[in-house]
Structure 1
């Protein structure tokens, strides 16, 4: 197990640890996006110096404290961007400490919106919800119902009352997280209500399609889902019925999310290599996507919104994360992508070396981030939290058993967290504290912090196992 340093001077960070320049990137050249990120994560210009003179980023917290005490900003306190500048310099890279160890692969992990709960979903029908504030005590131990292959996704409602989970099945199940029952065995100790995403009975008998991604809306009244039948679904929880089905792509839809709190805009990513934008306000009239974003060479494994209805990122099987601005999307919704390596299969083949630096002439992305590996399973990526980092970073799991953190503007790899023995399919950054939790196919749920409470913990001895999984 390797441990990264505690402190990073990002002003000089242009290459990965060890001096290699293989993964050095050009970063985002979009001036507007760069300026917005700076406004969220840079200190007040007068706090950037303790004495009159030219300031330089990154600014020492000691100088910022001195500037605050002298009231250089005329606020008498730190603003949110001031705080983000301090917190974003101290990445959660110490440790890790082992939170839990299961006998099956971990597929999903996520914090609740307030960071008080953490959900982990495992392949063998198991979901655990931990109370973070009570020392990671198990809050609810769930045995899933009607599972096929694995838990593909979970989502907590904004009020933390309900959890939905999906599988390779047209039924999404919902569990009452706030009930007094700790051991929740489907339809034995507690009812797991099935939400039907198909009107065709044969779909349930033959499992003709499955759900790969499921997300609550911000108001908790709807669920959006991505499926293997090339469609996006929106489910109305109040009415307990399907409210919208969109034949969205030409292949499996692996990822979907609402763009912002309004719930009007939906982003989707598919194995057809395209990201699409859907506006529900005009879909009934137009019956088609608002636009398409072209740039990935292979299928999309995950999408994450910045929450502003404008920017989002996607992880691709072409071993790259891309940053998008939907104002630059193409109106050519009939665009048909052509795969350069039709025989390549990410589930058991290495990505062709000659394709790693290839860029489509029609690429609409603002930036591309490379260094991690996206093979064997649908690896996920995210923006870092707004409250503690100003969304200054993006981070992702990787098939090489690590977690990668990139500076969203410069594109530099600023941290690589090594511990696991198998692919890290998912990882999640606490919304307020410097803490990243990674979940891996080795069954480990591991926590990285600053300062690291588990940094002196000895590594757990394990035997590397080679697996082949389909999703």
Structure 2
């Protein structure tokens, strides 16, 4: 694998692969021993010149209370405590009452008041109406016109998917992203083998595989993918300057390369050939792509002319995520970076290369940003283990941002290997509306999303998590549900020794036990079901996509390969034991996957 160019500042996963490869080749004896022995070996390995890891990274990776207790991890102290982000959040509650994020239960009678005692006003709450009663009322025609529409929305938003998986799709490499199309008829899945699989999901509970497209000459993995507004084309990227554009039609196998470094010597908007792309998105009219790269820049690419037309250099570190603010127009763009900021760009006034505003509040780098699609609200995930909701009307002005003291509130930990042990803290200039805690943003760039308006009334926000779960929250930060993908999938395929070479390990230890890290989640736009895309398997060496629905029948889910073929028989798989091994079948043989 090619080495990352020295002038790029990636904190992404390609460095991880190179480090692990070097460890595997020269440090088989590193794992094991006491913490001091491990760090001594690490230090000796770095000084030998064989490791791409810097001494500073080792010091930060050691963490509080380990081998470098004198290391000053944070330059500026932050306020901490359980009360810094109240749950339920008052601003979130107000948003839920506003109707912008789903419907309240209007079938309940309003609280009544009585001045019957001297202590003041008493309020009586009416119990929530059950979903079965709501369905009966809808069938009987109890509500009409606007009230009927609200009732349908209320019924839909109560149908939250469960942990029970309808089926599991297995891949032989880690899976990085997967999303339904806006109409729900299509699902794509991107894996580390540089392949994108496409599925017909017109029946959301019975998928049909129909096509695979490849990325030739990629680095580390496929980093992102995006569907055109008409669903006719899929663009996907790797840690290079090239984006591949493929047709989603089953009979069309043609792929068009879109080179962002094209004409570098003559086009000041082109990307440096040594850089790579982390994130891409189609604009609302499908004519342009915006990309976030590991040089801290955004690039706007004109698809018709095959030319990069704009380069925006507003970030100090990698741009890990980009999105458009309004699905119907190409004007507002959000970008999330490892510099811990989200910047807001207006396509109509970007000729001078300056952002129109900044969201400040995360203390570590951003892993993902998602827009509600209304040009107003945006959601982000950060390595500070928080998800945040923002309102564009409360962004910080660029002039104010430039004039304030830029301080480092991060602790310098490596999210790919270290645990985040800091107590809940708050940025002194935090301008977010709501902060969500309880999920784990480690190992990889975990993604978050708004729930869709049709199937949920946009009532929820949800995120993957490195602990193998999906967390679903109300807008006010109260937790709605946890979907345990690890519990739903553990032991669903046999261990294949050849695949264990790709297992995920880090300084100081490794495991071959079944582990799950949910990297991406997609809620179906019209059905009460969601699909999770995960690193999932023995030693996190493989990947899965799982479907979870509201009315899942339960029981043992069906397992398939990437082409939705049942490649192994259930009675050949044996039984999984908690120590991470398979109990063999009576024949003593394990069926290969």
Range into which the TM-score falls when normalised by the shorter chain: 0.7 to 0.9
Instruction: Indicate if the aligned counterparts of 1:160 and 1:178 stay in contact, CA closer than 8 A.
Output: no
How many angstroms does 1:379 deviate by? 0.3
1:153-179 deviation line (CA, Å, top 9, x unaligned):
011112221111100001101011115
2:220 equivalent to 1:149:
yes
1:272-306 deviation line (CA, Å, top 9, x unaligned):
0001111111222x531111111001000000111
* Alignment equivalent of 2:361, drawn from 272, 295, 303: 295
CA 1:293 to 1:426, structure 2 compared with 1: closer, same or farther past 3 Å?
Answer: same
* Alignment equivalent of 2:129, drawn from 56, 59, 72: 59
1:34-55 deviation line (CA, Å, top 9, x unaligned):
3334673234x3x3369x9988
Question: Residue 220 of structure 1 aligns to a residue in which SS?
Answer: coil
CA 1:28 to 1:277, structure 2 compared with 1: closer, same or farther past 3 Å?
Answer: farther
1:29 matched residue in structure 2: 90
**TM-score (ref. length: structure 2):** 0.67
What are the equivalent positions in structure 2 for 1:115-130 lying under 5 Å apart? 115-130=184-199
How many angstroms does 1:205 deviate by? 12
1:363 matched residue in structure 2: 430
1:405-438 deviation line (CA, Å, top 9, x unaligned):
1111243353232325221111111011011111
Report the Cα distance in structure 2 between the residues aligned to 1:376 and 1:336, rounded to whole angstroms.
31
CA 1:418 to 1:66, structure 2 compared with 1: closer, same or farther past 3 Å?
Answer: closer
* Alignment equivalent of 1:444, drawn from 520, 541, 544: 544
Question: Residue 557 of structure 2 aligns to a residue in which SS?
Answer: coil
Question: Residue 388 of structure 1 aligns to a residue in which SS?
Answer: helix
Greater shift in the superposed pair: 367-376 or 329-338: 329-338
Instruction: Indicate if the aligned counterparts of 2:166 and 2:558 stay in contact, CA closer than 8 A.
Output: no
Report the Cα distance in structure 2 between the residues aligned to 1:123 and 1:204, rounded to whole angstroms.
27
**TM-score (ref. length: structure 1):** 0.83
What are the equivalent positions in structure 2 for 1:343-354 lying under 5 Å apart? 343-351=412-420, 353=421
How many angstroms does 1:196 deviate by? 1.4
The structure with more radius of gyration: 2
Measured on the aligned residues, the alpha-carbon RMSD in Å equals 3.1
What are the equivalent positions in structure 2 for 1:132-281 lying under 5 Å apart? 132-133=201-202, 135-181=206-252, 190-199=253-262, 208-260=274-326, 261-281=328-348
2:168 equivalent to 1:108:
no
Report the Cα distance in structure 2 between the residues aligned to 1:35 and 1:172, rounded to whole angstroms.
42
CA 1:59 to 1:131, structure 2 compared with 1: closer, same or farther past 3 Å?
Answer: same
Instruction: Indicate if the aligned counterparts of 1:27 and 1:367 stay in contact, CA closer than 8 A.
Output: no
CA 1:124 to 1:227, structure 2 compared with 1: closer, same or farther past 3 Å?
Answer: same
Report the Cα distance in structure 1 between the residues aligned to 2:263 and 2:88, rounded to whole angstroms.
47
How many angstroms does 1:382 deviate by? 0.4
1:16 matched residue in structure 2: none
1:428 matched residue in structure 2: 522
Aligned positions, number: 430
2:118 equivalent to 1:48:
no
CA 1:204 to 1:23, structure 2 compared with 1: closer, same or farther past 3 Å?
Answer: same
2:478 matched residue in structure 1: 411
CA 1:163 to 1:432, structure 2 compared with 1: closer, same or farther past 3 Å?
Answer: same
2:332 equivalent to 1:283:
no
How many angstroms does 1:250 deviate by? 0.6
Greater shift in the superposed pair: 260-269 or 411-420: 411-420
How many angstroms does 1:337 deviate by? 4.0
Report the Cα distance in structure 1 between the residues aligned to 2:180 and 2:405, rounded to whole angstroms.
37
How many angstroms does 1:464 deviate by? 6.0
Question: Residue 145 of structure 2 aligns to a residue in which SS?
Answer: coil
Report the Cα distance in structure 1 between the residues aligned to 2:367 and 2:438, rounded to whole angstroms.
16
Question: Residue 148 of structure 2 aligns to a residue in which SS?
Answer: coil
Instruction: Indicate if the aligned counterparts of 1:297 and 1:340 stay in contact, CA closer than 8 A.
Output: yes
Question: Residue 355 of structure 2 aligns to a residue in which SS?
Answer: coil
Question: Residue 222 of structure 2 aligns to a residue in which SS?
Answer: coil
Question: Residue 525 of structure 2 aligns to a residue in which SS?
Answer: coil
Instruction: Indicate if the aligned counterparts of 2:524 and 2:530 stay in contact, CA closer than 8 A.
Output: yes
Greater shift in the superposed pair: 417-426 or 194-203: 194-203
Instruction: Indicate if the aligned counterparts of 2:446 and 2:519 stay in contact, CA closer than 8 A.
Output: yes
1:315-350 deviation line (CA, Å, top 9, x unaligned):
000000011111111112425643334531111111
How many angstroms does 1:395 deviate by? 0.9
Report the Cα distance in structure 2 between the residues aligned to 1:216 and 1:393, rounded to whole angstroms.
24
1:372-415 deviation line (CA, Å, top 9, x unaligned):
11111100000111111111111111111111111112433532
How many angstroms does 1:73 deviate by? 4.9
2:557 equivalent to 1:457:
yes
CA 1:301 to 1:236, structure 2 compared with 1: closer, same or farther past 3 Å?
Answer: same
Instruction: Indicate if the aligned counterparts of 1:253 and 1:269 stay in contact, CA closer than 8 A.
Output: yes
Greater shift in the superposed pair: 143-152 or 23-32: 23-32
CA 1:328 to 1:204, structure 2 compared with 1: closer, same or farther past 3 Å?
Answer: closer
Question: Residue 281 of structure 1 aligns to a residue in which SS?
Answer: helix
How many angstroms does 1:90 deviate by? 2.2
Greater shift in the superposed pair: 273-282 or 204-213: 204-213
CA 1:103 to 1:25, structure 2 compared with 1: closer, same or farther past 3 Å?
Answer: farther
CA 1:276 to 1:24, structure 2 compared with 1: closer, same or farther past 3 Å?
Answer: closer
1:402 matched residue in structure 2: 469
How many angstroms does 1:99 deviate by? 3.6
